[in-house]
Structure 1
Amino acid sequence: MQHLSVALSIFACVFCSALFGLYLRTLLPSRHLDDDSIGVIKLTTGLIATMAALVLGLLISSAKNSFDTVSAQVTHEAANIILLDRVLAQYGPETQEIRRLLKRVVAAGIQHIESGDGSQLSRLHSPEAFKSGEYLQRKIEELAPHDDSQRRLQARAIEMTDNVLAVRELGLLQAAGSTPIALLVTLVLWLCIIFGAFGLFTPPNATVTITLFLGALSTSVAIFLILEMNTPLDGLVTVPLLPMHEALSVLGQ
Structure 2
Amino acid sequence: MNSLVVSLLTFAAIFGGALLGIGLARVLPAPHLNTETRTAVSVSMAVVGTLAALVLGLMITTASSAFSARSNAIDTLAVDIAKLDRILSRLGPGASSIREDLRSYAKAKAEELAAVVDKRDIALRNLTVLEGISDQVSQLSAEDARFRHNQSQALLLVDSIADARWRLVEDASISIPLPFLIIVIFWLSLLFASFGLFAPNNATVVIALFLCAVAISGGIFLILELGTPTRGFIRASVEPLQLMIKDLSN
What band does the TM-score fall into relative to the shorter chain? Answer: over 0.9
Q: Structure 1 stretches of 5 or more lacking a match? A: none
Taking the aligned partners of 1:133 and 1:70, their CA distance within structure 2 comes to: 20
The aligned counterpart of 1:9 is 9
The aligned counterpart of 1:36 is 36
Taking the aligned partners of 2:199 and 2:157, their CA distance within structure 1 comes to: 65
What amino acid is aligned across from residue 12 of structure 1 in structure 2?
A: A
The aligned counterpart of 2:172 is 174
Taking the aligned partners of 2:160 and 2:103, their CA distance within structure 1 comes to: 15
What amino acid is aligned across from residue 212 of structure 1 in structure 2?
A: L
Taking the aligned partners of 1:226 and 1:202, their CA distance within structure 2 comes to: 29
Cα distance, 1:33 vs. partner?
0.9
Cα distance, 1:181 vs. partner?
3.0
Among 212, 215, 221, the alignment partner of 1:218 is: 215
Q: Structure 2 stretches of 5 or more lacking a match? A: none
Tell me the TM-score normalized by structure 1: 0.92
1:157 aligns with 2:154: yes
The aligned counterpart of 1:194 is 191
Q: Closer, same or farther in 2 for the Cα pair 1:222/1:123, shift >3 Å? A: farther
Cα distance, 1:167 vs. partner?
4.2
Aligned residues: 249
- Give every structure 1 segment of 4 or more consecutive aligned residues whose post-TM-superposition deviation is greater than 6 Å: none
Cα distance, 1:204 vs. partner?
2.3
* Equivalent pair of 1:124/1:168 in contact (CA under 8 Å): no
Structure 1 vs Structure 2 CA RMSD: 1.7
Tell me the TM-score normalized by structure 2: 0.93
Taking the aligned partners of 1:100 and 1:218, their CA distance within structure 2 comes to: 49
Q: Closer, same or farther in 2 for the Cα pair 1:81/1:102, shift >3 Å? A: same
Cα distance, 1:131 vs. partner?
2.3
Q: Closer, same or farther in 2 for the Cα pair 1:62/1:124, shift >3 Å? A: farther
Q: Percent identity?
A: 32
Q: Give deviations 1:184-209, integer Å, cap 9, x for gaps.
A: 22211100100111110124221111
1:235 aligns with 2:232: yes
1:27 aligns with 2:27: yes
Q: Give deviations 1:194-232, integer Å, cap 9, x for gaps.
A: 011111012422111111101110100011111111112
Cα distance, 1:57 vs. partner?
1.0
Cα distance, 1:114 vs. partner?
1.0
